[in-house]
């Protein structure tokens, strides 16, 4: 709390009163929201820094509902938002990186490159080019060089531990009503992890569907023996519950 207060003072001194008040209100809202969640869900409380370790091959979907379903970045949300998903292996990034790193194709032979060129010819942009690279063929090729380096680092070092890697750089998964992992951020890293053969990567949990959170709550109240005898036993090896099922 003292650190938050100190940051607020520093912000007020550097930016003025109104940004300070806005910042304080935002922090108050976040803290109040998190407190309500912890009271409601107890042992199964979702936390903003929740990291679960998953096999990238088990991330079957990618989320595309950003402009169709107004969900927050974190929390427990009911509704139909988790239906806005598609097969992750049908994404241009997954297909293109598989062609590049698994099949050994040159970048200009991949669907990633073809999609980019088509977009530029139509004066459009390619959202899969990020990190400030220019929206042009040259910019895309520079981005591909960066991806080559990232892949080599991943093969050599794997994912660095949470203590070494800022949480904001972890892939983010939402979890749907049936426990399905739906990728929200980190498509490139997940695709490279699949291709390189990694069987476990750290991911940050964003939103959980209300029905899935109910499963977590029920399991959190059971011993391992009780869970094994319950209809929920199929979820015991799910990475979002294994840490709190009591043996």
Residue bearing the bigger pLDDT, 74 or 37: 74
Burial of 166 (0-12, 13-18, 19+ CB in 10 A): exposed
Pairing mode of beta strands 61-63, 181-185: parallel
pLDDT one-digit tens code per residue, 163-182: 455 677 899 999 999 999 99
Percent of the chain with pLDDT over 70: 77
> Using an 8 Å Cβ cutoff, are 190 and 201 in contact?
yes
Quote the pTM value. 0.82
Determine how many CB atoms are found less than 10 A away from the CB of residue 109.
14
**Could you tell me the two tokens for 34?**
């998190």
**Given the structure tokens 């476990």, which residue do they identify?**
200
Each residue of 56-105: pLDDT tens digit? 999 999 999 876 677 888 999 999 999 999 999 999 999 999 999 999 99
Cβ pair 218, 232 in contact under 8 A: yes
Write the CB contacts of 99 (distance below 8 Å, at least 6 apart in sequence): 105, 109, 110, 111, 112
pLDDT-derived band of residue 202, with 50, 70 and 90 as boundaries? very high
Look at residue 40 in the predicted model and tell me its pLDDT.
63
CA atoms within 13 A on the CB side of 81: 25
**pLDDT attached to residue 77:** 94
**pLDDT tens by residue, 114-142:** 999 999 999 998 888 766 789 999 999 99
Q: How are beta strands 172-175 and 201-209 bridged, if at all?
A: parallel
Compute CA distances 111 → 90, 94, 97, 98, 217, whole Å. Answer: 11, 10, 9, 10, 43
Query: Could you tell me which of 181, 159, 180 has the C-alpha nearest to residue 170?
Result: 159
């Amino acid at each position: 709390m003292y650190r938050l207060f100190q940051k607020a003072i520093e912000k007020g001194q550097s930016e003025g009163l109104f940004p300070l008040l806005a910042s304080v209100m935002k922090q108050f809202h976040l803290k109040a929201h998190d407190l309500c969640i912890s009271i409601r869900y107890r042992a199964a409380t979702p936390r903003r820094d929740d990291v679960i370790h998953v096999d990238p091959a088990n991330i079957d979907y990618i989320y595309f509902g950003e402009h169709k379903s107004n969900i927050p970045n974190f929390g427990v949300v009911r509704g139909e938002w988790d239906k806005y998903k598609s097969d992750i292996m049908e994404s241009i990034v997954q297909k293109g990186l598989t062609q590049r790193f698994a099949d050994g194709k040159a970048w200009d032979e991949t669907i990633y490159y073809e999609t980019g060129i088509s977009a530029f010819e139509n004066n459009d942009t390619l959202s899969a080019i990020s990190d400030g690279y220019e929206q042009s063929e040259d910019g895309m090729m520079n981005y591909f060089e960066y991806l080559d380096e990232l892949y080599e680092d991943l093969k050599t070092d794997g994912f660095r531990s949470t203590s070494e890697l800022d949480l904001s750089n972890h892939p983010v998964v939402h979890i749907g009503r049936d426990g399905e992992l739906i990728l929200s951020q980190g498509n490139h890293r997940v695709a490279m992890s699949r291709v390189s053969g990694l069987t476990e990567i750290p991911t940050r949990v964003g939103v959980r569907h209300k029905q899935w959170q109910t499963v977590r709550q029920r399991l959190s109240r059971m011993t391992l023996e009780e869970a094994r005898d319950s209809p929920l036993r199929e979820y015991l090896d799910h990475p979002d519950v294994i840490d709190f099922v009591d043996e």
